[in-house]
Structures are given as C-alpha cells and as structure tokens.
Structure 1
Amino acid sequence: MPIASFSPLPALLRFLSTLALGLAGGAAAFAVDLPLPWLLGAMLATTLASLAGARLRSPGRGRQGVLVVIGVMLGSAFTPEMSGDPGRWSLSLAAMLGATAVMMLFSVWFSRRIAGHSLDTALYAGVPGGVSAVTGMALDSGADLRVVGMTHAVRILVLLVAIPPVLDGIGHVSLTAATTDPGRWLWLPGPADAAWLAGAGVLGAWLGGRLRLPNALLFGPALVSSALHLTGLTHAALPPTLIALAQVIIGVSVGVRFTGTALTTLGHTLAMAALQALGLLAIAILAAWAIHAATGVSLAAALLAYMPGGAPELSLVALSLGIDPAFVTAHHLLRITVLILLMPVLLGACRRSSA
C-alpha cells in the first residue's frame, strides 16, 4: 500500500479552506469587539455557510489535538493560590447533579411529547452533555442518529450564542477582550515551560486513555497539567495565539456539524432542538442563581458549570474569560462521568416502564 495513503496531509489540505473561513469569521468578530470573538466568529461563519449549502470539512484529528491543548490550558488554572471553599464546591457539585436530573427529565419529556421522537431518540438526544460518548452509544440503539446529532449540535450553538448576553445581563463578569496589545500575540513560553506543557499534553493523553476517562483527550491532559501547576513544578502558560487558534477550531467544529443540513427538510428538528436548548438554559440559569444565593458561589462560574453539555466549549469559555476554569471543569467532568455510568441504567428503566 502506498505510504501516501497514511499521510494526514490530504485531509489537512481539504480542511484549510474551512479553517480560513473560521479565521476570517474570528478576525471579523475581533475587529468589531464581539465577546469571545475567535470562538463565536468562527462558529457563526461556518454555521451560516453550512446552512447555505457549503460543503465544509471537519477538523478531524485536528480537533483531537485541540482538545489536548485545551486540557493543558485548563490544568494551568489549578494553582497553589487557587481560592475556593471545599464545602461550597461540594454543595455546588451536588446541586449541579440535581439540576442535571431535572434537565434530563425535561429533555426526554420535551423530545417525546412535543417533538414526537421515539423513546431511544429522546433519551440519547436529551442527555445534557457528553455528545461524543452519547453519539457512540446511540449507534447500537434504535435512535435516529441524525436527530440526536442535530439536537446536541443546536444545543451547543444556542448555549454559546447565549453566553455573552446572559453574562452581560447578570453583570458579574467583564466581557472585554483581555488581549488588546498587538505585541502580546507574539509572546511565546520559554523552552523549559514549553517542555512542561508538551509533556503534560502527551502524558495526559496517554493517561486519559489508560484510565478510560470520559473525553480522555481533554480531561487526561487537564489532570496532569493541574498536578504540575498545583505542586508548583511549573507556572507555564500557553501563548494567546494558540488559545485563539484553539477557539477557532472548536468554533469550526460546531459549525461544520450543520453541513448537509437542509432547512426545508430538517426545519422541524432544528426548531425543536432550539426550543429544547432554551428550556435547558432556563433551568441552568435558575439552578445557578439558587446556588449563588445559597452559598455565594460566583454566579457566572455556576452558570458555565451548570450549562448542559459542551465540556470543551464551555471550559474554554471559562478559561478565555477568566471565570474560575477549575470550578467549571470539575463540574463538567463529574457530570459527564455520572451520565455515562448511569445511561445503561436509565435506558433499561425507561424501556421497562414503556413496555
């Protein structure tokens, strides 16, 4: 077999036009001071192009590399000086699990009674998080995979678009871009710091697979990086240019999910998914407000931690805006772990009750 068949170069070349569109969208959003410009600009540009009929390419393995980068970035938020009351964290984690149960009940009810989907489709489409794992589990079921995929994609899209106005409305965080000096885009870590970061990414990706962590390429590097930063072995940070590129690729990853989507034939599915996402957002806002009032936990951090799904996307938002990324990441890791462990039990119980 020709060696060239193993090369990722052709796939990379096919993706370059999609990446260029994402970069253009991010640059345009940055130029007009849109909050989260590289993420939202890339996402909106590729989503609109996809819905208009453009055949955009997925980042493929490039997204896997970006997950490792995001994991390393998230780990850098766990510092020895990190503030946080363990008691409040515990209460918040418990409240998040309670809110997740309410979200799951609402999603399944909405998908069954309002959208008219089958039980299997409603269950897999209604899981508030873990889109990659859930889609893989749905392959062996009777679920409509197109509806499951579209529902999760639309949910992430709605949540990311809603974040700036919601955070602006609660007034607990500044959405002003942190990197305004052009010279900061050229900053690079030193050789020693770069070695620590690269080592955290490689070791974390391997460890995440060995431990069978959910979203191993994200949470494995996050665990190794957090251990390095918590112990003070390194205070290394990633350059702003790499963070912006990671946001672009994550935004593109959301947008290309709508490639091949015909509004005329999938309009009902998209509309139902958007309404369901808005309902879940309302539940997340109420739960975040309640835990903030009860414990004093940051309302903005609780909101990002309680939002249903999109762990890489929401953790990256927390990191980009400086909204307690460690707190947000811990909540999403617990949510995904519990959901994956309980999904077989939930499926069995629902099928027995409907039999």
Structure 2
Amino acid sequence: MNDTLTTRLTALGRFLPTLALGLAGGALAFWLQLPLPWLLGAMIATTLASLGGVRLRSPGRGRKGVLVVIGVMLGSAFHPGLKIDVVAWGASIAIMLLATAVMMAFSVWFSRRVAGHSLETALYAGVPGGVSTVTVMALKSGADLRVVGMTHAVRILILLLAIPLALPLLGHVDLPPSSTDLSHWLWLPAPVDAAWLAAAGLAGAWLGKRLRLPNALLFGPALASTALHLTGLTEAALPPSLIALAQVIIGVSVGVRFSGTSLARVGHLLVMGTLQALALLLIAGLAAWVAFRLTDTSMAAALLAYMPGGAPELSLVALSLGIDPAFVTAHHLLRITLLILCLPLLLRVGRRLGA
C-alpha cells in the first residue's frame, strides 16, 4: 500500500513541471484572449517543448480522472426541457456514418499507397478517434505503434488548431470572450449538488466499465450525469476553475505525445500525418455542409460531430463553446462504438483482399 502511494506521488511530482508548463501556456493564451485558451495554450506550449527535445511527462492516471470530469460535464448539458429532433438526428447520424466510411477508406489508401505503411498500421492509424482504445487494439496486431500514435496526435493537434479558425467563418457561432471576473473562477456548486456530481462520476465510471463502453471513463459518467440532469435531481454544473484545469490536462495530453521526438527524426511522419488530417478535415467539412443543408442541423455542431478527432477533446470543445454538446457527444459515442466493433472484421477482409 505504501509502495503504491509512494509510486503515485513520485509520478505526480515528475508530472508537475509539465503541468506548470501547460498552465503557463494556458494563462498566456488567456491573457492574449485567444479562443479556447486553456486547451490550446497548454497544447501549443507542450507541443513546442516536446518537438524542441524536452522530455515531458504524461498525465498518466490524471488523464483518467479528467475523462471522468469531462463526462460529468457533458451530462450537465442535458436538462428536462431538452428537445431532440429525432428525424434530424437520425439523418445526421446516417450522414456521419457515410462520411466515416469515406474517411476510413481514404486514410487506409493514403497510409498504404502514399505513406507506405502496412495494412495493420494503416487501419489503426486511420480510425477517426478513439486513440486510447485503438492503440490497445493495435498492440495485438503487429501495427507500428509509433506511426499509429503519431498520426492520431498530429490529427488531433491539427483539428484543435483549426477549430477556432473555422467556426467564426461559418457565421453560425461566436466564440465567447474569456471572463476575467474573479468571482467567476471561484464559484462552487452547493454541497448537495457537488455530492450528486461526484456520485455521477464514481458510479458512471463503474457503470462504463461494466458495460464495456468504449472510453468507459468518459461515456459512463456522461450517461450517469445525463440521467441526473434529465430527471431534474440536479441542475448543477462544474466549477469553471475545474473545467479550465481539465482543458489544460487534455491540452498537455496532446502535446506530450510528441515528447522524445524531433522535427528531424519524425519529419516524414509529421508531413504524412498533417496531409492526412487536412484531407479528413475537408471530408468532415463537406459532410457537415450536407447535413446543414438537408437537416437544418447547426453547421458548427455538425462539424464538431463529424471531425475525425477524439471524443474527449471535441466534446470538451463543444461544451466549452456551448455548441450542442449532447448532439456532438452522441455522434462520437456511436461512431467509435461501431468502429471498434468493425475493426477486427475490416482487418480480416483487408488481409484476404491483400490490401
């Protein structure tokens, strides 16, 4: 017991300099009034440091805790008066699945024919999201984990950098200004509400694992928190300071994936990953435009829902910017669930066809 505690404290101590760098980057971005300052500031600072040769520590278990926090946050977007247009959602999901099939086909072709990777590597690197689960699956397939991890990291980096640039151009969303009011950052929910939210996180994490949900620590608490908010047991949201910290750790989690690398050593992977990410972003954008035209879905919400990135990152962006987080989260949950179920079959078919 003491050894375990000592090990965890040691890991925390080693992570603190990385966290401090992320907080400094977030604070600078906040001072510069950049959109999504805590997320993007932390991500950019740690990415630049990593590519500069600095070895940064991963959040480790801290990221798991942040996933639970984000899940509870996502559930708070639901409320008893929430109206869901079943027809529009159904049509949007159909468009999203078609776009996902196109993304997968392009990613595998690009990785095989242009980047020159194996079928296994191309398949797992091409999955639009679910990097943690996909990496575990790739371990058993003989895929090149460095390529898989780097491709996903570059894709998420490109998408998160593109979001603040793309959304204002759509004309359907205004990025909210950063609040400098101290009372805003010191606000806390009432003790009873705090207890409900904590219970949703703990019970949801357990439920997610029992149901074997993809990204169980995110979607389990999201389901539990949604149930609490839809039934009206609580209307509480999480403190802004905790939300900012969650954004910093998610940003750091992206940046440290480049740790131990350099532009010279992984230049080819970075170029290939960037080209692939830009192409997938274009496909997602076209699909979002089709959904907007056919279903009256918000262009901004459709874009976040269709983007080939991680559910934690994009759901957090949707929640932070108030862009229909329920819609965005539902799409990402369905997509990654179906992809994880289909990946073994796709791999077998690809091997038989000699792709």
Question: TM range, normalised to the smaller chain?
Answer: over 0.9
Q: Give the equivalent residue in structure 1 for 2:230.
A: 230
The whole-number CA distance in structure 2 between the counterparts of 1:208 and 1:300 is: 29
CA shift digits 1:70-109 (9 cap, x unpaired): 0000001111122331110111111111110000001001
Segment of structure 1 superposing worse, 166-175 or 148-157: 166-175
Give secondary structure in 1 for the equivalent of 2:108: helix
Give secondary structure in 2 for the equivalent of 1:154: helix
Q: Give the equivalent residue in structure 2 for 1:197.
A: 197
The whole-number CA distance in structure 2 between the counterparts of 1:180 and 1:14 is: 31
Displaced runs of 4 or more, over 2 A: 4-7, 176-182
Query: Would you say 1:351 and 2:351 are equivalent positions?
Result: yes
Q: Give the equivalent residue in structure 2 for 1:326.
A: 326
Q: How does 1:129-278 map to 2 (within 5 A)?
A: 129-177=129-177, 179-278=179-278
Which letter maps to 2:147? V
The whole-number CA distance in structure 2 between the counterparts of 1:306 and 1:180 is: 32
Which letter maps to 1:289? W
Distance of aligned partners of 1:57 and 1:50 in 2 relative to their CA distance in 1, 3 Å threshold: same
Query: Would you say 1:17 and 2:22 are equivalent positions?
Result: no
Q: Give the equivalent residue in structure 2 for 1:26.
A: 26
Which letter maps to 1:111? S
The whole-number CA distance in structure 2 between the counterparts of 1:280 and 1:247 is: 24
CA shift digits 1:307-340 (9 cap, x unpaired): 0121000000000000000000000000010000
Q: TM-score, normalised by structure 1?
A: 0.98
CA contact (8 A) 2:189 2:238 kept: yes
The whole-number CA distance in structure 1 between the counterparts of 2:100 and 2:318 is: 19
Segment of structure 1 superposing worse, 180-189 or 87-96: 180-189
Q: CA offset at residue 118 of structure 1?
A: 1.1
Q: TM-score, normalised by structure 2?
A: 0.98
Structure 2 residue ranges without an equivalent (≥5): none
Q: Give the equivalent residue in structure 1 for 2:74.
A: 74
The whole-number CA distance in structure 2 between the counterparts of 1:348 and 1:165 is: 39
Q: Give the equivalent residue in structure 2 for 1:59.
A: 59
Distance of aligned partners of 1:84 and 1:143 in 2 relative to their CA distance in 1, 3 Å threshold: same
The whole-number CA distance in structure 2 between the counterparts of 1:178 and 1:330 is: 27
Q: Give the equivalent residue in structure 2 for 1:3.
A: 2
Give secondary structure in 1 for the equivalent of 2:219: helix
Which letter maps to 1:268? H
Distance of aligned partners of 1:41 and 1:287 in 2 relative to their CA distance in 1, 3 Å threshold: same
The whole-number CA distance in structure 2 between the counterparts of 1:85 and 1:336 is: 22
Report % sequence identity: 74
Give secondary structure in 1 for the equivalent of 2:266: helix
CA contact (8 A) 1:179 1:240 kept: no
Q: CA offset at residue 128 of structure 1?
A: 0.9
Cα RMSD of the aligned pairs, angstroms, is 1.0
Q: How does 1:287-302 map to 2 (within 5 A)?
A: 287-302=287-302
Query: Would you say 1:114 and 2:114 are equivalent positions?
Result: yes
Count, aligned residues: 354
Give secondary structure in 2 for the equivalent of 1:265: coil
The whole-number CA distance in structure 2 between the counterparts of 1:146 and 1:329 is: 28
Distance of aligned partners of 1:178 and 1:235 in 2 relative to their CA distance in 1, 3 Å threshold: farther
Give secondary structure in 2 for the equivalent of 1:235: coil
